[in-house]
Amino acid sequence: MSTCHKEVKEVGTMAKAIGNKNASFLKLVVERALSMEEKKKQQEALVPYLPKDCISNILVRLPIDSLQRSRLVCKAWYTIINSPIFIDAHLRRSESVLIFLSSIKRGSLYSSPMALIPPEKPNTISVEVKSLQSECVPVFGLPNLSPFLKSYIQCLEINDGKSKIGEYNISCLGNIRATCNGLILLDDKLKKGGLIVMNPVTRKLIALPLGTLFPAHVESYGMALSSATGEYKVIHLFQDELGFIGCETLIVGTRLWSWVNGPSFGLVSWFGCEPVSAIGAMHWVPHIDHSDYVVSMDVDEEKFHTTPLPKSCRTHDGIIEMGGFLSFVTHEEVNQIDIWILKGLGEAWTKQHSITMGCIMDMFPFFSLRMKGDVIFKREEDGSFYAYDFQLQVMTRIEMENGRFPLSCSFLPHVNSLVSWSSREGSQDLCN
């Protein structure tokens, strides 16, 4: 006999002790509880029990926006989605995108003064305001940020020769300096030389301590995951007035930068291209043209290496991460692009592919899709994107849904994930 049935049977006995009026009320409450129990049993009969592993296997296939909503369905799903094992599994299945900043446009010069203020997108948060709030800065102490100085953080999703812009509803004042596994490194414009690490999907962020200050054109930032410790590192390379290169690293979540012996004098003279993280190291193309080698820093050992390239790197050649390896993409001839693969520091390059269809000399290699494997190129002439499908051996111009490519000076490879900079964060609230 269920608990509710026992309580109904005992109502008669309780009625004698407390009076008929109270007894009627008690009987009504117990009958209501009994009715709810019967409905629960009916629901359980209609919805079969699914093992936890089965639910996890279904949830991991959902797109990131659906996954964010699914964690609010029930406590069991919330626990599954927030677990480090699930977050890592979802990351491994997530496709690459390009993250970029889109400036907030002004109104027409002939509009009213109020029309010059661009309307804020619904549910938009400011990186700077959120960072100050996380440091317990009182509301009256928050700065008055001009809407004309802000940019929106957006992403460009590419699929089957078409692309669309994804929204995070996040505004910021600074530039995106580096990305890694869903985390982005942003300038903190409210603090000179300040930096912020953020996951734009979960909106979690952390302000980093100040490091060595240098102008942007003589410094380079990278972010990588240490395979030895499972910690995320920010790597800062900079050049002083005499041409010497310095380097410092920071484990995200700690408060002190560590000094690293930088590459020898003259090895690096240019910071025009973003570094590439692959094969456990961060890699730089060291010169603006005719680079004969790449400079690499082992993320775990924090030691610099030089690796000769199979041929001199020219203006429209470049390095990208491809299938977990370092790839060198070079224009061999007018109608041919060769792709070389390096599987480990100290190993030799291997020619993996030769593209002979649809090649254009001003195509610069941008990144490789994590799941499908297509290499994405960007043309210097008009800023358009092209994708090369290795299975079909076809080069396709990527179509934009509105017919226009977004205007941005910087696109960085990114992946939308639930990753945090610390495994301990996996059990905490992902939507602040």
pTM exceeds cut of 0.85: no
Residue with token string 């051996």: 393
In order along its 432 residues, the chain shows pLDDT tens digits of 555 555 545 545 555 555 555 666 666 766 676 677 676 665 555 555 667 778 777 888 888 888 888 877 788 888 888 888 888 888 999 999 999 998 765 433 334 444 455 566 678 888 988 888 777 666 555 566 666 678 899 999 998 888 989 889 999 999 999 999 999 999 998 888 899 999 999 999 999 999 998 888 899 999 999 999 999 999 999 998 888 999 999 999 999 999 999 899 989 998 988 999 999 999 999 998 889 999 999 999 999 999 999 999 998 999 999 999 999 999 987 789 999 999 999 899 999 999 998 888 889 999 999 989 999 999 888 888 999 999 999 999 999 877 677 766 689 999 999 999 975 443 333 333
- What's the rounded Cα separation, in Å, for the pair 3 and 137? 52
Q: Are residues 316 and 331 in contact, defined by beta-carbon separation less than 8 angstroms?
A: yes
- Phi, psi angle pair for 70, to nearest 5°: -65, -30
List the one residue out of 323, 400, 331, 396 whose CA is nearest residue 360: 331
Domain boundaries along the sequence of the chain: 28-88, 94-103+122-137+146-415
CA distances from 87 to 162, 227, 335, 369 (A): 27, 17, 42, 19
Would strands 399-400 and 162-172 be described as parallel, antiparallel, or unpaired?
parallel
- Whether domain 94-103+122-137+146-415 has CATH 2.120.10.80: the reply is yes
Residue with token string 């009320």: 25
- What's the rounded Cα separation, in Å, for the pair 312 and 139? 55
Burial class (CB in 10 A: 0-12, 13-18, 19+), 8: middle
